[in-house]
Amino acid sequence: MRGATGGVQRKVKDVYGSAHYVHCYAHQLNLIMQQATSHITKVSAFFSDLGGFAAFFSRSSKRTAVLDKVVAHRLPGASSTRWNFHSRAVNTIFEHKDDLLKCFRTIRENGEFDATTVREFGGFERMLEDEDFSFFLAFFHKIMAHVDMLFNQLQKRNIDSVYITGVIQRFTNSIQAIRDSVPLSVQQPSTKKRRALGQEEQHRLATEVCDTILNHAKERFSFTKHLISATLLQGDLFPQHSVKFPDSALETTVEAYPTLDKAKLKTELSLVYENEEFMACSGALALFQVFMENNLQDTFSETVSLLKILITTPMTTAESERCFSTLKRIKTFLRNTMAQDRLNALAMLSMEKNLIQNIPDFNTKVIEKFATQKDRRAKFMYK
C-alpha cells in the first residue's frame, strides 16, 4: 500500500498529483515499539521470555487451574503486531509478580506434576527473581503505560491531525521524562563489583530504548506535512504563535496545499491567535464548529478551508477496520447471497446505530413502509 515507487500510493499519485498519503499512525506506533525492542538483543530476549509465561500456562488445563487458584488472574499472550498485547503482559506480570512466585513454589512443592513441568516452572521462578528481568519489567511497565495511552487515543473515532499533534507531543515528553529518570530507577545488585557493572549496563540499555522511541517518533510523526500544518491550528500553541508567527509551518502548509492563499491565510491566522475563544478549542473539529456556529466561514475562508482538509484527512485505519468487523457480523453464512444494495444498507444501519436509536419510532416507520409497498398475502398491519 505505501510503496512510493510501484505500490498503490504511486498509482494514485500518478492520477491525482496533489493527493497525500497518510500512513496509519496507530500502525506507526507499533513499528516504533518494534524498532525499540527488536534490535537490542537483551530487550528482545526479555520480551521472548515474557511471552513464555502465557504460553506455558495455556498448554495445560491443570497448570491453568493452579494459576486461577493462586494468582486468580490469567496471563495475556503477546503479539508482534499489536503492542497493547505486550503491554497487558508486562502490566499483569509486574502487578502479580509475588503471586506468580507463590504459584511456582506451590507447583514445585505439590508433587502432582511431572519432572519436566517442575523444571520449567523452576526456570520461570528463577527468571522472576533475576535482577535484569526485574529491571526490564519495571522499566517497560513505565513505558507501556504511555504507549497504551497513545494507542487508545489513536484508536478514537473523532480524531484529527491537530488532536494527534498534541497527544504525540505529550507522549514524547513522557518518554523523555522516563529517560531522564532512568538512573534513579536502576536497581542495585548485591556486590560492589556487580553494582557498578550492572547499573552502567542497565542505564545504557534503558537509555538506548528511550532514544530509539524518541528518534523514530520524531521521524515517523513530526515531519509529515499533515502534522506540520496542524501546528498552525493547535490551540495550546496560539500564545506562542501570537508572539512569533510560525512562518516555516505556513510555508510547508502552502506547499502541501497549493490551493490556499498564503497571504490571506497568514492574516486570518494572526487574528485567530489573538482570540481567547479560539484558543480554548481542543482540535480542528472544535475550532471548525466555532467558525460555523458564529457564521465566520466567509471572514476566515482560508482558515476554514485548511480546517476542512485537516478534519477529513484520515489519521488511522481504525475506522475502516471497524467497517470490516461490521461486515463480518452482517454478511454471515446464512446471508451470503444478499445483493450489494441490501448489504450497503445493513452496514450503514449497523455503523450508524447511534443515529438510528435517536430517530423516534424508527422500527414502526420501517414496518409501515414495508407493509404498504405492495399487496401481500400476509397481513403485517392490524387495526
- Highest-scoring range by mean pLDDT, 119-133, 145-159, 294-308: 294-308
Residue type, 238: F
Higher pLDDT, 304 or 279: 304
Which stretch of 34-48, 203-217, 289-303 has the lowest confidence by average pLDDT? 34-48
- In sequence order, what DSSP letters do the residues of 239-307 get, joined into one string? HHHHHS--HHHHHHHHHH-TTS-HHHHHHHHHHHHT-HHHHT--SHHHHHHHHHHTT-TTTTHHHHHHH
pLDDT at 101 over 80: yes
Name every residue whose Cβ is closer than 8 Å to that of residue 303 and which is 6 or more positions away in sequence. 233, 265, 268, 269, 272, 291
Taking residue 300's Cβ as centre, other Cβ atoms within 10 Å add up to 22
pLDDT at 290 over 80: yes
Name every residue whose Cβ is closer than 8 Å to that of residue 70 and which is 6 or more positions away in sequence. 99, 102, 103, 106
Q: Are 74 and 67 in contact (CB under 8 A)?
A: yes
Whole-angstrom distance, CA of residue 174 vs CA of residue 180: 10
Q: What is the mean pLDDT of residues 126-144?
A: 88
pLDDT above 70 covers a percentage of the chain that reads: 90
| C-alpha 276, offset from chain centre | 31
pLDDT above 90 covers a percentage of the chain that reads: 10
Percent helix, strand and coil across the chain, each to the nearest 5: 75, 0, 25
pLDDT at position 78, please? 63
* Cell reading at 180: 531522564
Q: What is the mean pLDDT of residues 336-349?
A: 85
CA atoms 218, 268, 163, 350: torsion sign:
negative
- Highest-scoring range by mean pLDDT, 105-119, 305-319, 365-379: 305-319
pLDDT at 267 over 80: yes
Name every residue whose Cβ is closer than 8 Å to that of residue 207 and which is 6 or more positions away in sequence. 179, 182
pLDDT at position 269, please? 92
* Cell reading at 380: 403485517
pLDDT tens-place string over residues 187-225: 444 444 334 347 778 888 889 999 999 998 888 776 566
Q: What is the mean pLDDT of residues 266-273?
A: 91
pTM for the model stands at 0.70
Whole-angstrom distance, CA of residue 40 vs CA of residue 208: 9
Whole-angstrom distance, CA of residue 59 vs CA of residue 53: 11
SS (H, E, C) 197-210: HHHHHHHHHHHHHH
DSSP assignment, residue 63?
Answer: H
User: At 193, phi and psi to the nearest 5?
Assistant: -65, -45
CA trace torsion 42, 46, 49, 50 (10° rounding): -170
pLDDT at 175 over 90: yes
pLDDT at 235 over 90: no
SS3 176: helix
pLDDT at position 190, please? 44
- 328 backbone φψ class: left, alpha, beta (φ>0; ψ -120 to 50): alpha
